[in-house]
Amino acid sequence: MKLTWKSELPHLVTLAAMLALAAIGGRGLPERLPVHWNLAGEPDRWGGQFEALWLVPLLTAGLYAAMALLPRIDPGRANDERFAGAWQTARLCITGFFAGLYALMHVTYRQSSLDLSSALMPLLGALLVVLGNLMGKLRPNWFLGIRTPWTLSSKRSWLLTHRAGGWVLIACGAAFVAAGLVRAPWLRAAAIGALLAGTLGLTVYSYVVWRSDPDKTPPAGTRPAPE
């Protein structure tokens, strides 16, 4: 997948804004800041300013670099151009999600009354909805999508699992948005549980479809390696 200024500029501007905020955003803040919150929206771990201000921007920059470079070493690059648009959209949404998370963290540092968990749930829900809409456009690759041993060795399993996965992510995304708006810890836990259950269900589904595919290919490890 080709990287161009048009495709990369939104990422670079977002990362530059995050790093600039990290550099100047600590003025007037205490040395110890919350870095983790529980489901009730209460801070349950504190850290120094470097961890609180720099960790998320640096992780986002690393994730951006990884997602930009990984397609170049994907052994299944033959499908790249068939879902290049979906890949670029997913990358941009993930960068935007972490930028939104980082902005919410700074609001929390300045306004301790903000319930970060409630504010974050709609943002995460929106990300899941967008990714869910992209799932059916993905084609077999080693880095993005529902990559089980069965989807990677059966085109039918990949296609049907990702179609089902799109609906699962959209439904879970809507549940996350609702949980953030209602601000009930039990509903947040239920939304997270639904996402975990959906992930498990899709894994099982990928196996079931693989079993019934007459054209599945033998995955690595099914044949003895040469001496």
Q: Domain tally for the chain? A: 1
- 92 touches 11 (CB < 8 A): yes
Q: Is residue 25 part of a domain?
A: yes
Q: Is residue 113 part of a domain?
A: yes
Cα 70 from Cα 91, distance rounded (Å)? 12
pLDDT of res. 144: 87
Residue 154, H or E segment = none
pLDDT of res. 117: 79
Q: 4-63, pLDDT tens digit by residue?
A: 888 899 999 999 999 999 999 888 888 888 888 776 667 778 888 888 899 999 999 999
Q: Is residue 219 part of a domain?
A: no
Cα 42 from Cα 185, distance rounded (Å)? 11
pLDDT of res. 223: 55
- Whole-number average pLDDT of the chain: 88
Q: Is residue 220 part of a domain?
A: no
- 207 touches 148 (CB < 8 A): yes
Query: Which residues in the chain come in under a pLDDT of 50?
Result: none
Cα 132 from Cα 147, distance rounded (Å)? 15
Q: Is residue 53 part of a domain?
A: yes
pLDDT of res. 211: 93
Range of the domain at 18: 5-211
Cα 181 from Cα 151, distance rounded (Å)? 35
Q: Is residue 217 part of a domain?
A: no
Q: Is residue 129 part of a domain?
A: yes
